Chains A and B, each alone.
Chain A
C-alpha cells in the first residue's frame, strides 16, 4: 500500500497525540465504566439519539487501540449525522489527514487554517479535553453531590452541574434515593462562573430551581431546542446584592452541535438532543439545579446523618408554630430576615395571623427537601408542604436558612 503504508503507525501517532492532549492514558480500558451505571444506558436507549458524544468517545477508543480505519468510519458516521458537531469534524479531519501525513496534535490543521481559526481550535481542544475527562473520571456509583442533603419523594428529578468539568448530571429520585441516570457536556459563561452583576457574562453558582419551560417556537434559533429558566437571582443572591437575570438552560443554534466550554453570556447551554431529553424528563418548578464550581460526591447515608441536626431544628420551628409560642417561633427568624421587602417585625404580623388560623388544629410538615449551599456562608434551602391537620390541602413553602454562630436562622420564607 502506498498511503496506508503505515495505518498502524499513523494510528499510533494519533493515539499518542490524543493521549498527550487529553491525558487519558488508560482511557480505552475505562470505557466500560461509562456504562457502569445501568439506568444511564436504559434511558439513553429510550430517548432520541443522544449518543453523539458516546460515538465520539468510541472514535477515540478506536484510535487508542490503533484502529485508524474503524475510527475513520465511525467519525464519518458522526459527521454525517451531525455535520455541525465541530469537534467531531475536527477529529474526522485528523483521521483523514492521518492517511496522508503524520499528525502531531489533535486538530493538526494546516498552518494557514490554524492561523485563521486559532481561537476556535483552542476551544475545540478544550471541549475535547472536558468530554474525555468527564467520561474518564466518573462519579462513583451510588454517590451524590453533597448539596442534595434531603430530596423529597415528591421531587422526581434533580440536576447538578459541575462547571469545572463542563458537565451536567441528571438524577432520578427513586425509592432507593437519588440515582445518576445520565450526564451531559455543558457550556457556561464566557467569563466563567460566580455571577454577581448584570452583563458580567458569568454563570451563577448556587442552588436553583427550574421555574418554567419556554416554548421553543417562541424562541430565536439561537436557543435551539428550548429553554428552561432558573430562579437566579435566588434569595441568597438577592441578599448578597447580586444583579442580572434571565439565566436559562438552553440549546444550541443550528450551526453548532455544541458550544465551547466557556461560551455563553451566563446561561447553561447543552446540545439540542440533550436538552430535549432534559425538557421531556424533568418537572418544572420541582427540579432543583445545583450549579457548583466543583461537585463533592458523597455517600447518601453519610449526609443523612449530617442532615439530622438541621432536621431537628426544623422540627423545633414547626413545634413552636404548633404550640402557638410566638416568641419561640420568632427566635428562628434572623434579624436580617427579608421576605419580598418584609422585615422580621413585619413578618411577625403575618405569622401571628397564620397562628390564629391554625390554633387548635395542629400542622403537619411533609415532603421536606433540604439543599445545602456552602461557600463563604452556610445556607439551607428548604422546601416543604405545610398542611393544617384535618384539611386536605395546604401550602408549599420555601425557606432560606443560614447558619449564624452555630444556629440555623431563617432569612427568607415564602409560599410557592
Chain B
C-alpha cells in the first residue's frame, strides 16, 4: 500500500474502497454470524466462530472487539479486559475498546481505572456520546465515593460496581463492516474504519446538497475514526450538513407549518423523557430509527428504559431549537440540558425526523460537539 502516501488520493481512495468492499463482501458474513450467535446467547458457538476467524486474521480489530464482548458476556472479565487492552494498544485511536474497558473496570468497582479509560475514549473522539454518558456516571460515582470518605460515612455502598453502557461492535453502525487491518498502522486504521458505506462516499461529492440525504449511515455516534488521509470534499462526518443548507432559499408557508410540527414533536419527546414516560418516549422513535452503538432496537429500548426508570427524576430542556424541513425529512438541532440525580449534562443534539403516516418520527439521534 505504498499509495497511502501518494497525493493522488482520489485514485487511492477508490482503490481503498474497492479493497474495502471486497473485504466487506468477504468478511461481512463472519461478523454477522458471530453477532447473531452472540445475540442469541450462543456464546461458545460465537466464540469458536470468532476464534476461527481470528486464526486467519489475528489482527482484525472488529472481530477482536467482538471476541472481547463475547468474553465479557461469558463472565470472563479478566480475558475481556486483556482483549480490550490489547486493542487499545494496537489501535489507540479507537474509542470503543476504551469504553468497554471502562465498563469492565466499573463492574469491578475500579472506578479510577474506568475514569482513565473513558477519558482516553473521549480524547480519542470528543463526540463519543456513550463514553461521555458513562464518564458522567463514573464522575458521579467517584464524587460520591470521595464525599463518603471525606465525611467518613459508611462506604460499603461505594464499592458496589456500576453498570455502564457497553459497546457491542466497533464503528457504531451495525451495517459497517470493518476490514482486515493492513500492515501499516496508519493504513490499517483507514481501511478498518470506513464509517460510511463505501458507495456513499463515492457518490457524496457528486450529489447536489439539496438531494434528500441518504439515510446517513455514518450515524455512528462513534463518529468516523479517521477520515481518509488527504481526502477530497465531503468527509463522511458531513452527513448532516446538506440538509441544513437546503431550506433557506425556499421558506414557504408549508415548510413553516412543518417546522412547527417538528418543534412540537421535539417538545413532546423532551417532555415524555422528563416525565419518565417511557412508552411515549420510545414512541417518538420511528420504526426506521437506527439505534446507536449497533444494538438491536429491542436492546436499545431495554437500555433506554433502564436508564430512564432508574432515575428518580429527569429534566430535559430544549434550547435554541432550529428546525430544517426538506420534504418528508426534517433535522432538528438544539441544545439539550439534561438533569437527573446529581448529573447535569448539557449537549448539542441533532434529531433527524421522517414524516411517516402523517407523524414526525425520530429516525436518528446524534450528539454533536
Contacts and interface: CB of A to CB of B under 8 A. Distances in A.
Interface of A: 1-3, 5-6, 76, 79, 83-84, 86-87, 89-90, 92-94, 96-97, 99-102, 107, 109-110, 113, 116-117, 120-121, 124, 255-256
Contacts of A6: 346
A92 B115 CA distance: 14
Contact of A124 (B122, B126, B140, B150): B150
Contacts, number: 98
B129 A110 contact: no
Chain B interface secondary structure, helix, strand, loop or mixed? helix
Contacts of B135: 3
A102 B344 contact: yes
B347 interface: yes
B227 to A, nearest CB: 20
Contact of B151 (A84, A96, A101, A120): A120
B27 interface: no
B367 A93 contact: no
Name the 7 nearest CB pairs between A and B, nearest first. Answer: A117-B151, A93-B146, A90-B150, A89-B150, A96-B143, A101-B344, A97-B143
6 contacts: A2-B346, A89-B147, A93-B144, A100-B344, A109-B151, A120-B152
B342 interface: yes
Contacts of B144: 93, 110, 113
A100 B134 CA distance: 11
A79 B345 CA distance: 26
Nearest to A255: B152
Interface centre among A3, A79, A84, A107 (most CB of B within 10 A): A3
A393 to B, nearest CB: 54
Contact of A83 (B149, B342, B367): B149
Interface of B: 112, 122, 126, 129, 132, 135-136, 139-140, 142-153, 339, 342-347, 367, 369
B150 A5 contact: no
Contact of B129 (A2, A93, A102, A116): A2
B147 A113 contact: yes
Contacts of B112: 76
Nearest to B129: A2
B126 A1 contact: yes
Contacts of B145: 93
B142 A96 contact: yes
Contacts of B151: 86, 90, 109, 113, 116-117, 120-121, 124
Contacts of B148: 113
Interface centre among B132, B147, B346 (most CB of A within 10 A): B147
A40 B144 CA distance: 36
Given A2-B367, A79-B146, A109-B151, A100 B343 contact: yes
Contacts of A107: 147, 150
Nearest to B338: A2
A86 B150 contact: yes
Contacts of B129: 2
Contacts of B344: 100-102
B347 A2 contact: yes
A346 to B, nearest CB: 55
Given A2-B129, A121-B151, A89 B146 contact: yes
Contact of A92 (B146, B153, B343, B345): B146
A97 B150 contact: no
Contacts of A124: 150-151
Given A2-B347, A3-B345, A102-B344, A93 B152 contact: no
B249 to A, nearest CB: 33
B342 A3 contact: no
Nearest to B136: A100
B132 A110 contact: no
Given A2-B346, A86-B152, A101-B343, A110 B136 contact: no
Contacts of A116: 151, 153
A5 B348 CA distance: 10
A187 to B, nearest CB: 15
A2 B135 CA distance: 10
Contacts of A5: 346-347
B346 A97 contact: no
Given A86-B152, A113-B151, A117-B151, A96 B146 contact: yes
A97 B147 CA distance: 10
A164 to B, nearest CB: 25
A97 B344 CA distance: 10
A82 to B, nearest CB: 11
